[in-house]
Every structure is written in structure tokens, then in C-alpha cells.
A = this chain, B = another copy of it.
Amino acid sequence: MPVYGTENVVVRCYETGPGGLARPATFADYFQEAASNNARALGFPGERLWAQGMAWVLARLALHIHRYPAAGETVCIRTWPAAHDRTIAQRCYEATDVHGQPLAWGTSAWVVMDISTRRMLPIPDFVAQGYPKDQPDCRPFATRAVPKLRETAHEALLRSRRADMDANGHVNNARYVDWVLEAMPQDFAAAHEPSMVDITFRAECGAGVPLVSFCSAPEEQVSLHSLRLASATAQEPRADHGSSVQPQPAGATPEKSAKPDSSPAEHAAGESANATELCRARVIWRARPAHHAPEHRA
């Protein structure tokens, strides 16, 4: 008998973007919330791992989105842990509207990390033993791995914030979903929406870090993405957050800053072939439906 976690979530105004519709990252947020609650119900919540010096880490997430809901709509979510092997646990997601019509589905791969060494651990015994049996498989990832971006066509500068940090003091994975999409040219992004986002997570990120989001030209409506640190000196988290300046009237010329990120080429991530890659993604695009009436917006 499969074990599902279910919850209904109302899309809040502030979770929607242009057109008044949810974003792909909105589903990543909802799915993570549902996963967290279901893991707690099954006896292997994050806090139990945390107490033993371990943490669940999302390694890969594929979102397939049929329709983006509007603010005020109810999203019905079902999640379940599927198979696991020695190191990787799969979790599946489905989202429908209140009429049972599909909104999205997802497949995720999780690993367990040692918090102090940041190294991957085998799935702990208490998780393996508590894992429900005979669960439905997740739908498979479309490719064995997310392909590496080799030909950069567009880029966008980003900077992580304290407000992006989760309870663990790192950027939550769902923010990376937002960030890889920032690189698409505005005219393309205005006319298209992702029908699929497949993202693989490679490095953590703290606050105040300059980043560059790179992407390919969308060939036949598919784009590849890479999110990287903007420079080697940017690897110091919070480098500029709350940095002191010489007391002076606001608006006057500041003293020369010695901050590590005051270098001239914040966006020159491409200068270093070794720039740390935080994540890479593959995105499938489709034409946006006709402009959504702003019936739900304030």
C-alpha cells in the first residue's frame, strides 16, 4: 500500500510574477515543503538527521509544468518517497488543481551529507528501515545527467542575499531554479515559459555572493544553463554584507574600498575556467498562453 503525503496550498499573490501566475520555483518551494512534512510523518525528518550531524541535500530536481496557477488558486500536492539505493533516495511529486487536472509533476534525488565534513554519507539505517516498501517509482529523469553548458549565449548578473538563506544559512535550492532562468533574454522570457526544468545542484552558496547565470541560445526551445560564482574572490560568503564604510554624509564620495568584491569585473565569471559552478540546468520552453487577465491581482 503506497504511502503518500498530501497537502493543499493556496497560491499567494507574492508567489506570482508577470501575468499574475506562479513561477517554476513556486513549484520547487511547494514540493520541498510537502517533502519536508512527509519525511517528518514517515520518521526521517530533516531535524532527526540534523540531530545526528547529517542533513538531507537535494541533488537533482526535474519539474514538468502543465499549467502555472494564478494567485488564489488551490494546488493539491501529492508526494512520496520512491526507491533508494545505498546513497540516493528518490522522491516523487504530483500537483493538480481542485478539479484533478494536472498542474505539474516532479522527480527529485536526495543524498545525505555529513554537516561538518560536507561529504556524502550512505543513507542512514533508520531512514532505510523506515522507508516504505512497494512505492510507485518516480517518472525517470529525461537524461542520465544534466548536460554541461558549453556554448554561452546570454548571461545575467546576480547577487545572493541574506533573505535568500534558509534555516541552515545557505541558499535554498528553489532559489537556484529562479536564478538559472534569469539569464534568458527578456523578449524570449516574456513570450515563453518553461514546460520543464531539470536542475542538478553542485555547490552551496551563502549571502552577498556575486554570481553569473549563463545560458545557451535556446535551440529548438531547449536551453542549457550554468550558475557560477562571479570570481574567485567571491568565494567568501557575506563579503560585502554590512561592510563598514568610513562615516560620511550619505551621498558623498566614499573612501576607497578594500572589499574583495570591489573588483572591476563582477560579471567576468567567464574569465576563470575554474569558476565554481553552483548548479546546471536544462530547460524546455513553450509559447506562453494568451496574456492572463489580472483578475487575481491586487
Q: Is A258 in contact with chain B by the CB < 8 A criterion?
A: no
Cβ 8 A contact of A242, one of B18, B151, B156: B156
Q: How many residues of A contact B (CB 8 A)?
A: 99
20 A-B pairs besides A186-B207, A188-B242, A251-B273 with CB distance below 8 A are A16-B167, A17-B162, A17-B166, A19-B167, A36-B297, A71-B167, A149-B250, A150-B250, A152-B247, A152-B254, A154-B245, A155-B240, A155-B242, A156-B242, A166-B297, A185-B243, A215-B242, A254-B271, A262-B265, A262-B267
A215 CB contacts on chain B under 8 angstroms: 242
9 A-B pairs (CB sep. < 8 Å): A14-B174, A16-B167, A17-B167, A18-B165, A46-B298, A152-B250, A153-B247, A263-B264, A266-B266
Bound together, the chains give a CA A161 to CA B20 distance in angstroms of 16
Q: Is A208 in contact with chain B by the CB < 8 A criterion?
A: yes
Closest residue of chain B to A248 (Cβ to Cβ) is B152
Q: Is A181 in contact with chain B by the CB < 8 A criterion?
A: yes
Closest chain B CB from A33 CB (angstroms):
5
Closest chain B CB from A43 CB (angstroms):
14
A243 touching B39 in the complex, CB below 8 Å, given contacts A29-B12, A252-B270: no
User: B208 touching A244 by the CB < 8 A rule?
Assistant: no
A257 CB contacts on chain B under 8 angstroms: 267
A294 CB contacts on chain B under 8 angstroms: 46-47, 50, 167
Q: Is A249 in contact with chain B by the CB < 8 A criterion?
A: yes
Bound together, the chains give a CA A297 to CA B170 distance in angstroms of 13
User: B265 touching A151 by the CB < 8 A rule?
Assistant: no
Q: Is A157 in contact with chain B by the CB < 8 A criterion?
A: yes
Bound together, the chains give a CA A290 to CA B214 distance in angstroms of 41
Bound together, the chains give a CA A294 to CA B51 distance in angstroms of 9
Bound together, the chains give a CA A9 to CA B261 distance in angstroms of 39
Convert A23-36 into 0s and 1s, putting 1 for each residue whose CB lies closer than 8 angstroms to a CB of B: 10100010011011
A168 CB contacts on chain B under 8 angstroms: 297
Identical chains in the assembly: 2
User: B297 touching A272 by the CB < 8 A rule?
Assistant: no
Q: Chain A: residues with CB nearer than 8 A to chain B?
A: 12-14, 16-20, 23, 25, 29, 32-33, 35-36, 39-40, 45-47, 50, 56, 71, 148-159, 161-163, 165-169, 172, 174-175, 178-179, 181-186, 188-189, 207-208, 210, 214-215, 217, 226, 238, 240-245, 247-254, 257, 259, 261-268, 270-275, 294-298
A20 CB contacts on chain B under 8 angstroms: 167
Bound together, the chains give a CA A273 to CA B254 distance in angstroms of 11
